[in-house]
Amino acid sequence: MATSHSEIIQILEATVGKEWVKTNPDDLETYGRDWTKFFPPDPLAAVFPKNIDEVIAIVKNANNYDFSVVPSGGRTGLSGGAVATKGEVVIAFDRMNKILDYSASDRQVVCEPGVITQQLQQFAEERHLHYPVDFASSGSSQIGGNVATNAGGIKVIRYGMTRDWVQGMKVITGNGELLNLNRGLIKNATGYDLRHLFIGSEGTLGLIVEVTIELTNPPIEPCVMLLGIDSMSRTIPILEAAKAALDLTAFEFFSEKALQHVIEEKNLKRPLESPNNYYTLIEFENFKNTAIDKAMEFFEFCLTEELIADGTMSQSTTQAKEIWRLREDISETISKFIPYKNDISVKVSLIPKFIEAVDNLVTQAYPDFEIVWFGHIGDGNVHLNILKPEATPPTEFYEKCSKVSPKIFKIVEDFEGSISAEHGVGLLKKEFLSFSRSAEEISYLKEIKKIFDPKNIMNPGKLIDI
Q: Is the dihedral of CA 13, 19, 22, 23 positive or negative?
A: positive
The pair phi, psi for residue 108, each rounded to 5°, is -125, 140
Q: Looking at 101-109, 150-158, 228-236, 386-394, which segment touches ligand FAD (CB under 6 A)? A: 150-158
Determine the distance from the C-alpha atom of residue 442 to the mean position of all C-alpha atoms in its chain, rounded to a whole number: 22
Tell whether residue 119 is a contact of ligand FAD (CB under 6 A): no
User: How many CA atoms does the CB half-sphere of 398 hold within 13 Å?
Assistant: 13
Binding-site member from 36, 68, 76, 314 for ligand FAD (CB under 6 A): 76
Under the binding rule (CB under 6 A), the answer on residue 333 touching ligand FAD is no
**Residues from 32 through 51 that contact ligand FAD (CB under 6 A):** 34-35
> Judging by DSSP bridges, how do beta strands 381-387 and 340-345 pair with one another?
antiparallel
Taking the C-alpha atoms of residue 333 and residue 110, their distance in angstroms, rounded to an integer, is 34
How many residues in the shown chain lie near ligand FAD by CB under 6 A? 39
Kindly tell me which residue out of 48, 67, 131, 135 binds ligand FAD, with binding defined by CB under 6 A.
135
For residue 78, state whether it binds ligand FAD (rule: CB under 6 A): yes
Q: How far is CA 65 from CA 1, 7, 287, in A?
A: 10, 9, 59
249 touches ligand FAD by CB under 6 A: no
Check if the beta carbon of residue 22 is closer than 8 Å to that of residue 13.
no
Dist CA 184 CA 111 (whole Å): 12
Site string for ligand FAD, 294-323 (x = CB under 6 A): ------------------------------
Q: Does 332 bind ligand FAD (CB under 6 A)?
A: yes
Phi, psi of 394, deg, nearest 5: -50, -45
| d(C-alpha 249, C-alpha 423), whole Å | 21
Q: Which is nearer to ligand FAD, 200 or 219 (CB)?
A: 200
Q: How far is the CB of 299 from ligand FAD (least distance, A)?
A: 26
Report the candidate in 351, 416, 358 with the shortest Cα–Cα distance to residue 384. Answer: 358
The piece of 45-53, 134-142, 386-394, 437-445 that touches ligand FAD (CB under 6 A) is 134-142
Contact range with ligand FAD by CB under 6 A, out of 45-53, 143-151, 177-185, 255-263: 143-151
Sheet (strand 166-173) strand order: 99-103, 108-111, 206-214, 166-173, 178-181
- Our finding on whether 131 is near ligand FAD (CB under 6 A) is no
Applying CB under 6 A, among 15, 137, 276, 420 the residue interacting with ligand FAD is 137
Query: Contact residues for ligand FAD (CB under 6 A)?
Result: 34-35, 70-78, 81-82, 93, 113, 135-137, 141-142, 144-146, 148-149, 151-153, 202-203, 207-208, 331-332, 422-423, 426, 459, 462
